[in-house]
Amino acid sequence: MARSFKDLSEREILALAISQEEEDGRIYGDFVEGLRENYPATAEMFEEMQAEESGHRRSLMEVYRRRFGEHIPLIRRQDVKGFVERRPVWLVRPLGLEAVRKQAEIMELETRRFYERSMQRVTDVSTRKLLGDLAEAERRHSALAESLEKNLAPATRQQEEAAEHRLFVLQIIQPGLAGLMDGSVSTLAPLFAAAFATHRSWDAFLVGLAASVGAGISMGFAEALSDDGSLTGRGHPWVRGAICGLMTTAGGIGHTLPFLISDFRMAITAAVAIVVAELAAISFVRHRYMDTPFLAAAFQVVVGGALVFLAGIVIGSS
């Protein structure tokens, strides 16, 4: 059961401080490893902070040994009430800059408050002085974490923003675009085949809905199981799978909804207009995020969509 901070002895307060500095240093080490490849300048800042945390721990251990001997009892932050539970963002790969900066700011603020409260509970003069010095150091760390982006040189910041953009494209845009293209194109054939075979809007709607949901489930699992993201940097597989699956379903549902209109000709006209809008949107996304010339992207998407669309009409009319 977690204990109240006011019930801790001076010996336990120092032991807790040692444990906390060790944990913070290890978290910063994980930040360094997770950021080094894509954000080397920010990783270097966290490496310096990790070294300082190690120095804090050594100072605390020296004071502890002088006052209480060699044995340091195991007491951790989760053993004491009042500490905020930390989400293990340092285990996520790849790490996001914003998440890391926010986590570091919270960590340093919490540690500073801990030292300030500890000073009120400790009677030994040298220990109080050390805790005060550490509180001031954590205050500087907190300010540094808050302004990490401002401390980067413009060229470095530009490089890290470019790296962040690449990760966004890799983890969000690519699976979403793949799903949108599959949903928008692959469902055209069964939807329009059913529409021209039956000339009934409701029947076409049911076929389009089934094709969209089925394609979404299939694409979602295919994307999630393609790789775990550990080597490719594509992020968590189930997040990618969810994005891909939802966008696939959305791509198919878009031109399926018009068949809720009972008038068949009006439903067909609206569906064709939405197909044109979907293909234009896909072309724009490919141009905007995949560095594909707009005309080339439009040609590729329109040709593929037109072939599938015609296949559905031919099959449905036969």
Kindly report, residue by residue over 268-292, the tens digit of the pLDDT.
999 999 998 998 888 888 888 777 7
Distance from chain centroid for Cα 248: 21
Alpha helices in the chain (DSSP H): 10-35, 40-68, 97-121, 125-146, 154-168, 174-186, 188-198, 201-226, 237-254, 264-289, 294-317
Which pLDDT does position 138 carry in this prediction? 82
Residues in the chain, pLDDT under 70: 84-85, 87, 90, 92-94, 145-167, 227-235
Is this structure's pTM higher than 0.85? no
Q: What is the pLDDT of residue 150?
A: 56
Q: What is the distance between the alpha carbons of residues 7 and 44, in angstroms, rounded to a whole number?
A: 39
Answer yes or no: are the C-beta atoms of 192 and 264 closer than 8 Å.
no
Please give the pLDDT value at position 98. Answer: 72
pLDDT value at position 109? 79
CA distances from 220 to 78, 111, 248 (A): 38, 42, 8
Cis peptide preceding 94, ω within 30 of 0 = yes
- d(C-alpha 196, C-alpha 315), whole Å: 8
- pLDDT in the model for residue 178: 86
**All structural domains of the chain:** 5-152 (1.20.1260.10), 156-317 (no CATH)
> Which has the closest alpha carbon to 188: 96, 282, 125, 52?
282
Q: Which residue has the tokens 């799903």?
A: 179
Cβ atoms of residues 216 and 256 within 8 Å: no
Each residue's pLDDT tens digit, 130-140: 999 998 888 88
- pLDDT at site 154: 59
3-state secondary structure of 3: strand
Cα 174 from chain centroid (whole Å)? 15
